[in-house]
Amino acid sequence: MSLAEVMVGLVLFTVGLIGLLGATAAAASTTIRARSDLQWWAAVQWKADSLIAVGADNVTNGSDVVGDFLLKWEVTPKTTPLQVDLTIERTPKPGRSAVADTLVLYLVK
């Protein structure tokens, strides 16, 4: 085996390894994002369940912090069924703006 063949083999191996590392980094990023989305949904579900448990007659405007998320809810009075707008804000990462989503709940008395 010549030195040239060994060098070509090492170059091919290195290119393959760099590609594999890139794929691993992309998978790690996707996993982190999925975990954040799961935590977001758990916070929304927890707060929606707690508002439902309080009952339509007792729900008032308010806010709460669950983990890294700020949740605010606003009750639209005199609607049947009662409309509750639940807004959740993700804590912004440095250099990024905050992201907010709104879930509309309808509670029946």
Q: In 3D, which of 44, 57, 54, 64 has the Cα closest to residue 104?
A: 44
pLDDT at 13 over 90: yes
Give the pLDDT score at 92.
67
Residues 50 and 32: their CA atoms lie apart, in Å, by 27
Residues facing residue 63 across a β-bridge: 72
Nearest to 90 by CA among 62, 53, 65: 65
Per DSSP, the three-state class of 76 is strand
Which pLDDT tens digit goes with each residue over 16-58?
999 999 999 999 989 988 888 898 889 999 999 999 999 888 9
Given a contact cutoff of 8 angstroms between Cβ atoms, the answer to whether 61 and 109 are in contact is no
Q: For tokens 């709460």, what's the residue?
A: 64
